[in-house]
Homo-oligomer: A and B are copies of this chain.
Amino acid sequence: MAKEKIELVIPTIRRLPTYLYKLKLLSSDGIETISTVQLAKMCALNPIVVKKDIAHTKVKGKPKVGHNVNEIIAAIEEFLGWHNRSDAFIVGMGDLGKALTKYSGFDNYGLRIIAGFDSDQSLVGGSIGGVKVFDIDELHGLISRLKIEMLILTVPAKVAQKIAEIAVSAGVRGIWNFTPTKLHLPDNIIVQKVDIAAELAVLSAKLFHSSEEEQSE
């Protein structure tokens, strides 16, 4: 019963989907085994990084042969919890909400958006990308009824905190926050923020300071 504690190394976790993508291509090409060095080359990454990352998933390989492709795929999906597809709701069907709802790539990430919510009555009752849109008032009830654990938040900044609290009170445990609002929620709630300002800051700073370096020209 004493489950071994798994260490979550964030940089490693972020790289796993890249491996998964390449490995699935290999698998569909009928390739059965691959070494970490080969995989590293395909992903344009340092071989040592890849070796450590793969080891992190506890998958075992064979010296001289490498790893079984399908076994790594299974190990990564297991590690990320993508082996069982999880259902999510999305709240806020503006342009961003629409874009994410229509995005077909989530299939590969163990995620399925099964309903959308909005307060705009002209959207309620309709559907976007095959996903039905419900009134925001039904959010609490449907989360608890369907035992939804993950919420994608694409509402206006002003109402983000309020919606998040409603969702959490109904049983949501993880929130993917695409709004600029920093959410204040209990510690056991997992929030992943897509921080547009932070990303742009990195791009701007690199761009700005690289141009200074190249003044010699």
Min CB gap A173→B, angstroms: 6
| B192–A203 CB distance below 8 A | yes
The number of residues on chain A lying at the interface, defined by a beta carbon within 8 Å of a beta carbon of chain B, is 61
Knowing A95-B96, A188-B210, A209-B8, say if A82 contacts B194 (CB, 8 Å). no
| B201–A16 CB distance below 8 A | yes
Which of the segments A27-35, A65-73, A105-113, A158-166 contacts the partner chain? A105-113
For A108, the closest partner residue in chain B by CB is B197
Considering the chains assembled together, what is the distance between the CA atoms of A150 and B180 in angstroms?
22
| B105–A95 CB distance below 8 A | no
Min CB gap A201→B, angstroms: 5
A17 at the B interface (CB under 8 A): yes
A122 at the B interface (CB under 8 A): no
| A102–B95 CB distance below 8 A | yes
A48 at the B interface (CB under 8 A): no
A138 at the B interface (CB under 8 A): no
Interface residues of A in 148-197 (CB under 8 A from B): 149-150, 173-174, 176, 180, 182, 188, 190, 192, 194-197
Considering the chains assembled together, what is the distance between the CA atoms of A13 and B102 in angstroms?
32
Q: Can you show 27 pairs from A to B with CB atoms below 8 A apart? A: A6-B212, A8-B205, A13-B201, A14-B198, A14-B199, A14-B202, A17-B195, A17-B198, A17-B200, A21-B197, A80-B208, A81-B205, A81-B208, A82-B204, A95-B96, A95-B98, A95-B102, A99-B99, A111-B200, A174-B203, A174-B206, A176-B200, A188-B210, A190-B207, A190-B210, A192-B206, A194-B199
